[in-house]
Chains A and B, each alone.
Chain A
Amino acid sequence: MLKIGLLSTAHMHAASYAAQVNAHPSAELVGLWDDNAERLAKQAEAYGTRAYADADELLAVSDAVMICSENVHHKALTEKAAAAGKPVLCEKPLAVTPDDARSMVETCAAAGVPLFTAFPCRFSPAFQQLRDLVGSGALGEILAVRGTNRGRCPGGWFVDKALSGGGAVMDHTVHVTDLLRVLLGSEAKSVFCEADSRLTPGDFDDTGFLAINFESGVFATLDASWSRPKTFPTWGDVTLGVTGTKGVVELDMFAQESVLYSDTTGRVAFQGWGSDIDGGLVKAFVRAVTEGGDSEIATGEDGLRAVEVVEAAYESVRTNRVAAVRHR
């Protein structure tokens, strides 16, 4: 059994990852640590695992860790895990700056510890089918992609730049950027971005429209906005509209859903029933740690590339011009 420790549950994805570890036949959630005592006690009980007040103690009993802290703490926690020699699956974005992300990659490499980035969308069966379609040549040459990763404003620490490093562009640029890199086999070269703070009160970007140009010549746009209202029937979306010389594909990653009209809650809600992409991510993490070798899981390097696009987007917002993506 692979003993997995959970470092912080600040990010809401922690609950899903914990459940996936608990459900895994050859992994177990050995415990969790959180810098917030109340959250620590509550989540340890919720996930049915042991609470550790000291992260080092948890690391000592873990074979590998998942980091679900606020974005700014990813780097320090990754360094701590690397020092203890424990493989890391870190929530996205890998870091709030490319320099931090590069440092994490190098620290882990120096310690001989594998570092992975939590990009679960790679494990969407619909995306994998799209990737295979592209690979088969059925779409011909890919010319352009329109992407969206829209959501509700998550509030909490996500809108506190001191903890999140940015707003919607920081939160929602990286998933689709990673999918595009996988799909196109090319790196982002430059970015134009219009972003603003107009939907939710507070000093953070809640609207972000990116245009991303790839080295291969393919152009894409990405709506990273927190533009879904509280009454929206689901949390948000991930979509890709791919135009190729031989055809087009529309991917709507979470369209596998039924619609529930509830007089009990007074709401209309989408009930997703598609395959759980977090399950694919956790299985791949366990496989990568126990078996090593090639895996579909995103590496620290992949996480870094996505953060570079975030940096260029914010630069473009400041200058109103196209910003070059600076690779580290």
Chain B
Amino acid sequence: MKEKIKLLKDCRVLDFTNETAFLCGKILGDLGADVIKVEKPGGDESRNLGSFYKDIPDPEKNLYWLSYNHNKRGITLDIETETGKDILLKLVEKTDIFLETFPPGHLKRLGLDYTSLSKLDPKLIMTSVTPFGQSGPYKDYRGSDLVFTAMSGFMSVLGDPDKPPVRPTLPQSYMWIGMHAAEGTLMAYYHRGMTGEGQHVDVSAQAGVTWALSIAPSFFDLNRELPTRAGSFITGRSITGAKLRAVYPCKDGYLSYIIYGGPAGIRTNKRLVEWMDSKSMAPDYLKNKDWNKFDIATVTQEEVDQLEEPYANFFRTVTKEEFFQYVLEHDMLGYPVATAKELLEDEQLKARGLWHEVKHEELGTTITYPDFSTKFSSIACGFWRRAPLIGEHNEEVYGEIGLNKSDVLSLKKANVI
């Protein structure tokens, strides 16, 4: 078999992103690019977000940082100083892609915006990620995961009707944004390959989270209907407006089971009733139900409630694991409501080789990470290096632009790096 290649091995990326777009540079790194994460002298503030290794609040032990900065080298640089700016310009000479999350206008004030840098190198690609975009009425507004989840509309469809809307507790918006930024950046990179032309990629965090809404906008667009939050239920499957339960309590947690129509849905319902009957928990009206006449698109709330009540009683008697094994063996739809624990134990993910044990000499331990998830027959994607320590590659990277050890030392003393 032919050896797989690192697709972006000749692509150099300077990564000036904050937590909102770490994933973008990581994806380019997964594909083989030489990604250099640039932090302020002393390290980025984003190293203080969320949980820490063994709960030790140390910027070198931040779990969010470790999660989305592997496959990057790390340097420190203060581009607000004249010396720092000169060094950056030298780095840019060897850079293909410049990723940044500064507020719109900030780089322009430093003479380092796309217009200025593209004059030096028309092939340069710059990807700018900001809360709302580079221009427009909200361009100077600030953001957070909560703000993006709200402003994108995603929050409006999450939560119980009698409680305020919610966000997922583990922030999701930054991953959406970083992933989309990688899509746009790769498109620009492909275009550059075809034409030799660089360009500016303007990513809006707000717009980046809207696809999390899936098809919800089309309800309003076509019929002025407003999908709203429905808690543990799903809506929009029946034209009667019936809600379908998607989360049930079970013996040791929760299950996800949804009444579907179609061949898979009908098979699933029939087999669930058989399973319930084998435990004498299927009421007669369930046993006698003519599933072939069941139509999810027109089902009424009354019919749904009549099905879900005995289902709920039955699910309370099974564990997550029993349920999952049963649906796997009987070709039925349904999943446990998993936690990180179950993901790490999942047979499928193990068999697919998703997990990667990474040695952290600085912590004296190994940590399990998921690999890049897409399997290419000809492109190598992997876990090349753990996330960098603060300024870990200063000597190496600055050496590549002609600075020697003593230059690096004096830059450090002057607090430029």
Same complex origin of A and B: no
Query: Which B residues fall within an 8 A CB radius of A?
Result: none
